Amino acid sequence: MLLLDNVTKKFGKFTALEDISLEFSNGVYGMLAPNGAGKTTLIKMLTTLIFPTSGEILWNGDEITKLDADYRDIIGYLPQDFGYYKNHSPRDFMLYIAALKGIDQATAKIKTDQLLETVGLSDVKNKKMRKFSGGMVQRVGIAQAMLNNPQILILDEPTAGLDPKERVRFRNLISTLSKDRIVILSTHIVSDIETIANHVIMFKNHKLLANDSPLNICETIADKVFETNNITAIKTPYLVLTERQDGGETLTRFASEVDCSSLASPANPSLEDVFLYIYRDETL
């Protein structure tokens, strides 16, 4: 079990994350928060790239920095901006990472070929990565993260920059890889979370706001979401969530603290509604 105990991270005077306490056991955790909320900061602490200003991160009761190599041995990490050696082939690059992960050469070769097969890069495994598309690079990124069959798989915005088809592929891939381990991923794409995460983590004002199942999170704004084709009729304060065209009319989905069911039809809140509702004051 991975535990964050009152973790605060400051950059100089700026507090990026304050007093975060979290518990991770097997399952997929999706961090959903706007730009600059501190997702990458949290992930970098979990991967020992940066260190908490105060508080502790424990793996099965031991500080991860004390565990040192033993801890890094059980994590797999896809960074937000995944860099690679342009002149290397995916295979060469993975074999190098495998060496750094302390995997013996024979096993590394087998694992590399398996994983490249899983991510669908077998036919280009010996091609230089220079000419790879964003999606292909991202798939190399996840393959290298999986080399050591990590107990904790950490993916920082794994679906960013992918086209819809790639994104679906990628989600399926993550679902396949998420058995019997902790998967922590960050995203601002609500549908990513809806399809693969069984826990949602949200931050607001650099503090932990929610850590719950998607369903329970949606529950928090139950009875507050409505839809109408005549928004001007609503006289009480409301927050426009989304608008869409429906048979020549504009259908407005909005949130309101007061019950508007007499003027508009109640709707089931989605994660997207929650996201828009919670981060309403923040410029996205």
Partner 1 sequence: MIFLLELKKILSMAALWSFVALCFAFNIWAIPSNLRNVDFDTTTPFPENIFDGYSASETADVYIAMFNLSDRVADRMAIKHEALQAAANERAAEGASFSPYLGELTQVMHLNLFHGVAGVLGRLLFQGMLLAALVALLAIGYERASNTEHSIYTTKKGRGLLRSKIAAGLVAGVGLYILLAAATLAVYFVMFDYGAVWGNNVSSGFNYVIDIIGARPFITWRSFTVASYLGASIGLGLLLVVCFSLMGASVAVFSKNGYMGFLALLLINALFLAAPLAIPMNTYSYFASFYSPIWLWWNSHLWFTDGGITTLWRHFELWGTGFSFLALAVTCLFAVKKFEKRDIQ
Site residues, ligand ATP (CB under 6 A): 11, 14, 16, 33, 35-41, 80, 188
The phi and psi torsions of 108 (rounded to 5 degrees) equal -60, -45
* Alpha carbon distance 158, 80 (integer Å): 7
Q: What tokens were used for 2?
A: 């991975």
For residue 258, CA distances in Å to 45, 96, 217, 242, 276 come to 41, 59, 19, 18, 18
Asked if 124 contacts 91 with a C-beta cutoff of 8 angstroms, the reply is no
The residue within the footprint of partner 1, chosen from 89, 112, 144, 211 (CB under 8 A), is 144
Q: How far is the CB of 275 from partner 1 (least distance, A)?
A: 27
Please list every residue from 100 through 139 that binds partner 1, using CB under 8 A. Answer: 100-102
Q: How far is the CB of 267 from ligand ATP (least distance, A)?
A: 28
The residue within the footprint of partner 1, chosen from 89, 112, 138, 148 (CB under 8 A), is 148
The site partner of 83 among partner 1, Mg ion, ligand ATP, none (C-beta below 5 to 8 Å per kind) is partner 1
Binding mask 54-93 for partner 1 (x = CB under 8 A): --------------xx--xx-x-xxx-xxxxxx-------
Select from 171, 170, 86, 167 the least CA-distant residue to 132.
86
Instruction: Give the DSSP H or E segment for 209.
Output: strand 207-212
Stretch of residues binding partner 1 (CB under 8 A), selected from 142-150, 177-185, 221-229, 245-253: 142-150
Stretch of residues binding Mg ion (CB under 5 A), selected from 31-39, 194-202, 250-258, 271-279: 31-39
Residue with smaller CB distance to partner 1, 78 or 136 = 78
For residue 210, CA distances in Å to 20, 25, 217, 220 come to 11, 16, 8, 10
Stretch of residues binding partner 1 (CB under 8 A), selected from 27-35, 44-52, 157-165, 184-192: 44-52
Helix, strand, or coil here: 139?
helix
The residue within the footprint of Mg ion, chosen from 7, 40, 190, 252 (CB under 5 A), is 40
Select from 232, 210, 236 the least CA-distant residue to 221.
210
- The answer to whether 47 contacts Mg ion (rule: CB under 5 A) is no
- For 133, residues 6+ apart whose C-beta sits below 8 A from its C-beta are none
Under the rule (CB under 8 A), what is the footprint of partner 1?
44, 47-51, 68-69, 72-73, 75, 77-79, 81-86, 96-97, 99-102, 141, 144-145, 148
User: Can you give the binding site for Mg ion, defined by CB under 5 A?
Assistant: 39-40, 80
